Structure 1
């Protein structure tokens, strides 16, 4: 009973969360009761049973309206519709099973901390790999919070979902460990609070940085005619009478919008003209087409409306663009059709199934996003991105449209099938609003009888309608070319990143045999360093100055990565890249290297003493006077050690060297102290010794050269017609200078890629050291190997794909 009560508690919070309003705060805790039950399941069967119960309860709490709408549409009744939905809950909510399975397996292989992260990644990854019918995800529930929803321009609603899941896991972990003391609970609750704190901080930053409206806004008239259920009306009144009534109402409301309220363009809803425009099937259809063209010409404003399109392959649910002076100028075809209503899957389509499902259509999907011009009477031509119904639940379409130069989103929908209940219509409007946040494009959205609205770039409803009423919305939205958001630049990356993270965890678990043994201490597995060895004997001031310079150099690389992403002209300006690279990285790195060289020395052990020599200078330390060898926790300017002296505290010099563990093992072998237990650097900024793939000459000389040669060869053929075209035209100096620039550009690219990979490696290792210290060495080695694959295989493969046009 306790388990059932916990699942019902999560379901009750889900119901409140889905209602909107202040219920968004429950998103950070709504799964906690279920997670507490899940944590107690030891067998795989028990985990699946618990997950099935949660999937059913979650579906009943948040999506009962969908079952009711399905029952009404198919005329089987609302309760049978809900029953069918609950039976299909595992198919409707597969992310629960991905979450629970990943949590169970990852906790067994990597510990509970990484198990929680893996579970959240599995949820997001499964929603990315298996797109939801309604596009719904937990992140949509944060829409009522204007502040917290702004982070969708970074990672989309998938990123919001990931943070919500991690917050739920942290709260559940705190409750589970409440018997370990107040600090354990407080610490995990503080981790949970990081999610809303980050979202709030970023939201405040994003809202404060929004540009003030500039230029002439677009004044659009949205016509919600409140006419739905075309099939029933067609059966009762006939097809001609239905289309006649639709056009009459839209014409009348459009006349008021243009003549009375100065609308510069008109937008009708999905299938507002429920026949093929421009390809009439009858003389009556041709007459209706001429009426629409004459109406647009008389109104002298462009019209965008939902209709059908067709070609030799079949019919499409489409949006037509009609200009007063040019007539039909283009059409957009709906990409995401609704299964079993607008189409049947090919493997299921057939006479028998169509007899069982007489309502199923046979429309074909469109082939992707399109940006079409909206030419206004004042001479402006505004590129707009049309989306139809389910298209607005796919971030990829909005992102593609933003990349194509769209400045406004025009969304058309027919929400009549679920508008009798508010939750479905509200969910659909929230999904559409998130597309504006992700792309920072304003949006005009019109439905038959749902929620029509003008939506700002922050997702705010600036003007709108209620459900189930004829309404005319006149709204002005500023039009501009926004700076690309991270979502526009990277795409819907969160799901891909989560899937890649799971693959890495799986690879690590599968390769336990070749990873270091869990719990091994650095001093136990280290091989003694061969003396003499190169070291740098650094006074405190020298270490600090060189460390700051190297930190600035690495920060400069990461900063340059960000600048390159945001500044498109710089990506094609090799000389500009070289100057920035030299200033932010090469200069501080060279100075730091000079500091290290100024204090370079040779270390050796002789007659029980550590001997450090540089030319004629010689410094000796009795090994018996060294009480401990401590690795630098922050390995700047390089990895190194501090020596603890027996009576006098820490020695005033630090030793920078490539292999601290090997150095300590060599001292111990000659009678000195062993490496202090548990000592390991937080980060591994220095290259790993002895592995040629990490050698600077391999990574930053040979690899860029191997990449530059085919790219330069292709450039020569494109620009000059042959491999040596520039040499024949301008001489050897020009040819070699051009090649040097290509080599430099690829060197910078590899350096920036290596910096990003190093950041991921160190972040992953630090997380492992925090959650599972015994596995940190194995995690680092696994991540290092993944980075090698990315740098030495993925980058050349990408270049080959670009060259051969794949």
Structure 2
């Protein structure tokens, strides 16, 4: 067979393997219970390709193609959403996504390289399989943690569809579930290859160790999940109920509306709609706290920029005084010349006067909300007029909310993008938070998988901290999330509604994620470096005395 024919055959095998794994990952990533089992085998077609890699160049190519295919399949909705926001040509948006793919999905390249290196340098024997499997999985998880991911995705998040399996996230986050997924895939492949190569009798003997490992991992994950579910249920002590009212008005794309109607009329419409939905809610139910979503009041509160702004501020205060229900809402906060995306709390103090406090968003979405000063320039603003001007807040913090009857509620406030960062939320939990409150604006992604994915991220933060969560968005998905990640109530995407949510009590259950933060990523990097470099360093030390 000619060299060109060999290359063509290898390329065909690569594309077939990548297509197989990408398809399985796409099914797994649908977050549906019927596809959970696919996670245990989704890597196998690509692993078969990696078993045939004969050079570093082929390993890099395999990882690069896998990363591109994964990005196109899982985030194929993003270019259209980016086009809607920036008005850039769709082809340019696709090009930007694919150019970023090797950096956002770098774990596929490093995994392929590590696996090739280990297969080439490890001696034959049972220990070689375990060294390759564990080290490559750690490289994958460590690289994922280190990579500049816009959406903080990892395949283990798809186990959210399993009530039991997702509970393991309180140990090592969703990355811990990804580590288990990778090891199980390797074990399934090893067992299948042993049976195919050696027949049923001899193959069963050789497959015993990987089969035992994958069985122990899967049953262990299910068993741990059941244990934690029972513990949460037992520790949810009855106490005074907390009822939170949420408003999802489904008013989207403020900038476009402002261009059509004028800024004043848009703010007028937004506030009137929220007043009406809130009044309907308060008429039917006693509520301890009312919440409106991110940037629902699209100007500065407390430091008005115009007479109209001062009138709107006074209106909001009057509404709170009249309803006698404290309000937490999204707005802008101004300090000197610095403007922040903020969550503003306004309520009645102990003396009956209105008091306000603010939380300023820290984790801003790159470019659309914030431009690093290092690259900010008039030329950049001219090229990309849609870039944001907000400044970063001071970091994780809790917000004490004064409710009625002298009650105080300590919350972990999050605004939109912040809900995808485990360590950020864990720090707020360590500061004594009793409830996570997330304000979000997902309107630019309405009609795509993004609202569902964002809700999934939020649910993992509740699992990791064992805190209930109230999530309020402009257009969906607003939800009440339990400490086990269960969505107890929701307003779907592209719907208008107001709900009164009875928040489950906090179980006060300690977790490793709260104690250590997002610890697995850096630990995986360190361990994988030791496993990769350790043998060669030992060999050098042995050679020196002999020399």
TM-score, normalised with respect to structure 2 = 0.91
Query: Partner residue of 1:151?
Result: 168
How much does 1:356 deviate?
1.2
Secondary structure of 1:88 counterpart: helix
Instruction: Report the more deviating stretch, 430-439 or 154-163.
Output: 154-163
Query: Partner residue of 2:339?
Result: 315
Q: Deviations over 1:463-511 (max 9, x none)?
A: 1011101111211013346132111112211112211202322441441
Secondary structure of 1:280 counterpart: coil
Secondary structure of 1:449 counterpart: coil
Query: Partner residue of 1:380?
Result: 407
Secondary structure of 2:406 counterpart: coil
Cα 1:511–1:28 shift into 2, 3 Å = same
Secondary structure of 2:283 counterpart: helix
Match of 2:451 among 425, 433, 442: 425
Instruction: Say whether 1:167 aligns with 2:184.
Output: yes
How much does 1:113 deviate?
2.8
Contact 1:371/1:405 (CA < 8 Å) preserved in 2? yes
Query: Partner residue of 2:531?
Result: 505
Match of 2:283 among 241, 256, 259: 259
Q: Deviations over 1:180-234 (max 9, x none)?
A: 4232234323322333211100011111112244101210011111011111011
Instruction: Report the more deviating stretch, 260-269 or 442-451.
Output: 260-269
Instruction: Say whether 1:11 aligns with 2:47.
Output: no
Query: Partner residue of 2:4?
Result: none
Q: Partners in 2 of 1:135 and 1:17 — Cα distance?
A: 17
Contact 2:187/2:213 (CA < 8 Å) preserved in 1? yes
Query: Partner residue of 2:48?
Result: 36
Q: Partners in 1 of 2:98 and 2:483 — Cα distance?
A: 37
How much does 1:312 deviate?
3.1
User: 1:316-715 counterparts in 2 under 5 A?
Assistant: 316-325=340-349, 326-421=353-448, 423-480=449-506, 482-513=508-539
Q: Partners in 2 of 1:482 and 1:399 — Cα distance?
A: 14
Query: Partner residue of 2:303?
Result: 279
Contact 1:71/1:79 (CA < 8 Å) preserved in 2? no
How much does 1:126 deviate?
1.7
How much does 1:99 deviate?
1.7
Cα 1:9–1:484 shift into 2, 3 Å = same
Q: Partners in 2 of 1:121 and 1:69 — Cα distance?
A: 33
Instruction: Report the more deviating stretch, 318-327 or 330-339.
Output: 318-327
Query: Partner residue of 2:62?
Result: 50
Q: Partners in 2 of 1:428 and 1:480 — Cα distance?
A: 22
Q: Partners in 1 of 2:90 and 2:485 — Cα distance?
A: 33
Q: Partners in 2 of 1:445 and 1:46 — Cα distance?
A: 45
Q: Partners in 2 of 1:502 and 1:313 — Cα distance?
A: 46
Q: Deviations over 1:310-333 (max 9, x none)?
A: 213511111011113443431111
Match of 1:192 among 187, 199, 214: 214
Q: Partners in 2 of 1:118 and 1:104 — Cα distance?
A: 12
Q: Partners in 2 of 1:306 and 1:253 — Cα distance?
A: 16
Q: Deviations over 1:16-71 (max 9, x none)?
A: 11212122221111111001101110100011111111111111211111222112
Instruction: Report the more deviating stretch, 452-461 or 154-163.
Output: 154-163
Contact 1:407/1:481 (CA < 8 Å) preserved in 2? no
Q: Partners in 2 of 1:317 and 1:269 — Cα distance?
A: 12
Contact 1:396/1:492 (CA < 8 Å) preserved in 2? yes
User: 1:72-91 counterparts in 2 under 5 A?
Assistant: 72-78=84-90, 80-91=92-103
Q: Deviations over 1:749-805 (max 9, x none)?
A: xxxxxxxxxxxxxxxxxxxxxxxxxxxxxxxxxxxxxxxxxxxxxxxxxxxxxxxxx
Contact 1:258/1:264 (CA < 8 Å) preserved in 2? no
Query: Partner residue of 1:226?
Result: 250
Where do 5+ consecutive residues of structure 2 fail to align?
1-11, 123-127
Q: Partners in 2 of 1:347 and 1:107 — Cα distance?
A: 43
Root mean square deviation, CA, Å: 1.9
How much does 1:88 deviate?
2.7
How much does 1:86 deviate?
2.5
Q: Deviations over 1:662-687 (max 9, x none)?
A: xxxxxxxxxxxxxxxxxxxxxxxxxx
Secondary structure of 2:75 counterpart: helix
Contact 1:320/1:332 (CA < 8 Å) preserved in 2? yes
Query: Partner residue of 1:595?
Result: none
Query: Partner residue of 1:182?
Result: 204
Secondary structure of 1:390 counterpart: helix
Q: Partners in 2 of 1:348 and 1:162 — Cα distance?
A: 36
Instruction: Report the more deviating stretch, 113-122 or 325-334.
Output: 325-334
Q: Deviations over 1:641-678 (max 9, x none)?
A: xxxxxxxxxxxxxxxxxxxxxxxxxxxxxxxxxxxxxx
How much does 1:98 deviate?
2.2
How much does 1:388 deviate?
0.5
Contact 1:371/1:385 (CA < 8 Å) preserved in 2? yes
Q: Partners in 2 of 1:418 and 1:194 — Cα distance?
A: 40
TM-score, normalised with respect to structure 1 = 0.62
